[in-house]
Structure 1
């Protein structure tokens, strides 16, 4: 299935399908920054999700300096991957999430490979990511992409050199 993976910049057309996947297959804290709102996928949290993504529609040159992609499989949104300018020159930071039904199928590894090509096209020579020591799936995807790791307690920083 991972051969049918595409990245599509998030816009109004992909935002609602992305929110639907998040609500059906992920916890709010796993797919968006914390917000003051009732627990779960309350109306306020859904609105915060929309506004968070809309604030990044203008991409790497915008205020948030972030390009967010819907991860698509056979035309369906299954998750999100992003890259953001890092404080260090020629460096991008990345993160992603997948709905539960899309996990364990090689989609994350393919999405990361596609994002790394986008990062090269944007002039990056290094991509960094942060995760936790217990996030075995993320560590595996990053390792397969050639990441070097640095651990600080439970925090793990990954560095992927490009080109």
Structure 2
């Protein structure tokens, strides 16, 4: 992969750019939880997308215990990632989506690496992710980040557990 991948907390400016990328280059079911109504990026679905990200602004310490990030490649927003506290205070779940035209360039692998560093800074012990067995790109990014993969009994789902990088220690 060439170019620089960065994560930034989703604010109002990045939210509108992120929504534009989603509408132009992703299906709603790839970029957000399901919303009832007709298919496509309806005005209601776009507002639900905004509200979903806004409700996560308080981050891991907020009521939803989740934080969302815009993924940028060389300064252009190309997708979104999240970290969410799960049952334990030291286990984070992650997920992401990338605009279709940006897939297959190593951005997912690089993003996952950044998310693991972010998780380590929070004091998390581990990061988990869920995907489908047919999502070859996600599985490749997980493997490149040394994930332990467990396939469900019906062979449709994969659960990944990712090791965290060591956190830097201060010099005495």
Whether the TM-score (by the shorter chain) exceeds 0.5 is yes
Deviation readout 1:33-90 (Å, 9 max, x if unpaired): 1111221001111011011111001111111111111001121100011100011231
Deviation readout 1:107-153 (Å, 9 max, x if unpaired): 11111101100000001120000000000000000000000011112
TM-score, normalization by structure 2: 0.92
Which residue pairs with 2:105 in the alignment? Answer: 105
Which residue pairs with 1:16 in the alignment? Answer: 16
Q: CA separation in 1, counterparts of 2:52 and 2:59?
A: 13
Q: CA separation in 2, counterparts of 1:14 and 1:147?
A: 30
Q: 1:2, 1:110 within 8 Å by CA — same for their partners in 2?
A: no
Which residue pairs with 1:149 in the alignment? Answer: 149
Which residue pairs with 1:86 in the alignment? Answer: 86
Q: CA separation in 1, counterparts of 2:29 and 2:148?
A: 26
Q: 2:56, 2:68 within 8 Å by CA — same for their partners in 1?
A: yes
Instruction: Give structure 2 stretches of 5+ with no counterpart.
Output: 167-172
Instruction: Give structure 1 stretches of 5+ with no counterpart.
Output: none
RMSD across aligned C-alpha pairs, in angstroms?
Answer: 1.0
> Deviating runs (4+, > 6 A) in structure 1?
none
Which residue pairs with 1:30 in the alignment? Answer: 30
Q: Number of residue pairs matched?
A: 163
